[in-house]
Amino acid sequence: MIIPTYEECIRILKENNVPDNVVAHLKAVCDFSIKICDLLEKKGINVNKDLVAAGALLHDIKKTDSEDHVVEGYGYIKSLGFPEVALLVKKHGLAHLENEDFAPKTWEEKIVFYADKRVKNDRIVSVDERFGYIKQRYKKEDVEKELEFTKKIEFELLGNEKL
């Protein structure tokens, strides 16, 4: 498994002209993801932190320049030779959740998916606040299934812990 380092991820983002505000979001998702990894490790759950960090840093690489940033980001990261990281990109979004191929299943996939749903811009917020923003920003009225799915993952990852 080849995983790009933090520095390599930042270079890839710069090469793709990812805007500073998106990079700030990606860094915040990465930092929050690592906190979740640490929490899981304390519970005896082994997680690949390098994979999580790379997935968190690259999950929105095609956010501003594509119709479907999840699918295009997945294809792009895979084309760079990082298929495992590409899977985290593929499984971070809400748009294709009804398709099993896009639903997060591994700890690493769930961490990146969930951390992204807790970071609004570059701030950690509650799942409810983030979904309020998603409804407003993307003009989505009905996000109940996605919200319920996210809260289920939140409980799997955190239990009753607060982060």
CATH at 28:
1.10.3210
Which of the four pLDDT bands, split at 50, 70 and 90, describes residue 135?
Answer: confident
Encode pLDDT of 43-80 as tens digits.
Answer: 999 999 999 999 999 999 999 988 999 999 999 999 99
Contact 90, 114 (CB under 8 A): no
Residue 91 belongs to what domain range? Answer: 6-158
Is 43 contained in some domain? yes
* Rounded Cα distance, 117 and 149, in Å: 11
**What is the percent of the chain where pLDDT is above 90?**
87
The pTM of the full predicted model, rounded to 2 decimals, is 0.96
- Is residue 141 predicted with pLDDT exceeding 80? no
Mean per-residue pLDDT, 120-138: 92
Whole-number pLDDT of residue 53: 98
| Contacts with 72 (C-beta within 8 Å, 6 or more apart), sequence order | 62, 66
Total number of domains in the chain: 1
Average pLDDT over residues 71-98: 96
pLDDT at 134 over 90: no
Does a structural domain hold residue 163?
no
What is the arithmetic mean of pLDDT over 82-98?
95
Question: What confidence tier does 123 reach under pLDDT thresholds 50, 70, 90?
Answer: very high
Residue 149 counted as domain residue: yes
Q: Is residue 77 part of a domain?
A: yes
CB of 114 within 8 A of CB of 161? Answer: no
Contact 94, 134 (CB under 8 A): yes
What pLDDT is recorded for position 140? 73
pLDDT of residue 117 exceeding 90, the answer is yes
In the chain the first and final C-alpha atoms are separated, in Å, by 30
Q: Residue 136: inside a domain, yes or no?
A: yes
Asked whether residue 1 is assigned to any structural domain, the reply reads: no
For the cut 90, the answer to whether the pLDDT of residue 34 exceeds it is yes
What average pLDDT is seen over the chain?
A: 95
Residue 29 maps to a domain: yes
pLDDT of res. 138: 75
Place of tokens 């996210």: 150
| Distance between CA atoms of residues 46 and 39, nearest Å | 10
For 11, 24, 38, 129, 150, the CA distances from 121, given in Å and listed in that order, are 21, 7, 23, 12, 18
Closest residue by Cα to residue 110 from 92, 123, 127: 92
Per DSSP, what are the bridge partners of residue 120?
123
Alpha helices in 43-159 (DSSP H): 49-58, 69-79, 83-90, 107-116, 127-137, 144-158
| Residue 56 in domain | yes
Residue by residue, what is the 3-state secondary structure of 69-97? HHHHHHHHHHHCCCHHHHHHHHCCCCCCC
